[in-house]
Amino acid sequence: MPTAAEPPRAASSGAFRRLAARALGLAVVTFARLLTAPHAVWAGVGPDPGRQRVYFANHTSNGDFILIWTVLPPALRARTRPVAAADYWLRSGLRRFAGIDVFDAVLIDRRREARSEDPMAAILAALDAGASLILFPEGRRNATEAPLLPFRSGLHRIAEARPAVELVPVWIENLNAVLPKGKLIPIPLLCSVTFGAPVGLGPGEDRAAFLARAAAALRALAPQPLPAPDSAPEAAASDPGGAR
């Protein structure tokens, strides 16, 4: 029932918003399943709701985190939040509603010259509140021929600050062919989401070595062998990674 501090109209509006968010979330999951028939492969871990995790994945499409979100069992999906770009998800009222109310995204400001807070503060606050996260350590969509872009520093910073959180590599296969960059109409195609064994920070391991090892663990989950990277992962301290 509405409280003295919450007028009936406000309470009714809030209840409707929550109902609309649940309905849209269900519609997104249903659409993703119909379009891609996503197949979850729990190769290195199981879907354990008792584990707090950061799922870090390759990033080739706007639909990447939605696919991971879709294949998680409901108990995991309810506590898993994507790390996403505020400038993308706050661009319109509908995107704002989806990003905040439906996906409960951790929104970070990618504009280094304009932001007043370290994006890592929001990420760590979400972890401290008990959430698991979906993170794209490349920091942006990969539109190149390389299997992975260099990783940003965020994954290493999480490993240092919250060592009890499992860092689980996740390889998404075929989604870029379903929703290529610049295309408005998706193409139905089977997709797979492979979850690997957690990667932890080793004793005395520096940032570059850890990021290289995390990237290697992610690459190893691809269905086909990938060529070796040409250079060591980038470690931009000011950008933790994220997604659209």
Could you report the per-residue pLDDT of 110-142, keeping only the tens digit for each? 777 777 788 899 999 999 999 999 999 998 888
Q: Write the DSSP string, 183-238.
A: -SS------EEEE-----PPTT--HHHHHHHHHHHHHTTSSS--PPPSSPPP--TT
Q: What's the first-to-final CA gap in the chain, in angstroms?
A: 37
* pLDDT-based confidence at residue 16 (cuts at 50, 70, 90): confident
Span 43-48, mean pLDDT?
95
Span 136-164, mean pLDDT?
93
pTM: 0.84
Burial profile 113-143: b = 16 or more Cβ within 10 angstroms, e = fewer: eeeeeebbebbbebbeeebbbbbbbbbbbbe
The rounded Cα 201 to chain-centroid distance in angstroms is 20
Rounded-to-integer distance, Cα 208 and Cα 201, Å: 11
Rounded-to-integer distance, Cα 26 and Cα 106, Å: 20
Instruction: Tokens 């729990």: give the residue.
Output: 42
Second CATH level (architecture) for the domain 8-219:
3-Layer(aba) Sandwich (3.40)
Output phi, psi for 209, to 5 deg: -65, -40
User: What are the residue ranges spanned by the domains of the chain?
Assistant: 8-219
Could you report the per-residue pLDDT of 212-237, keeping only the tens digit for each? 999 999 999 998 777 667 654 454 54
Could you report the per-residue pLDDT of 46-91, keeping only the tens digit for each? 999 999 999 999 998 878 899 999 999 999 999 999 999 888 889 9
User: What does R_g of the chain's alpha carbons equal in angstroms?
Assistant: 18
Instruction: Tokens 């870029």: give the residue.
Output: 176
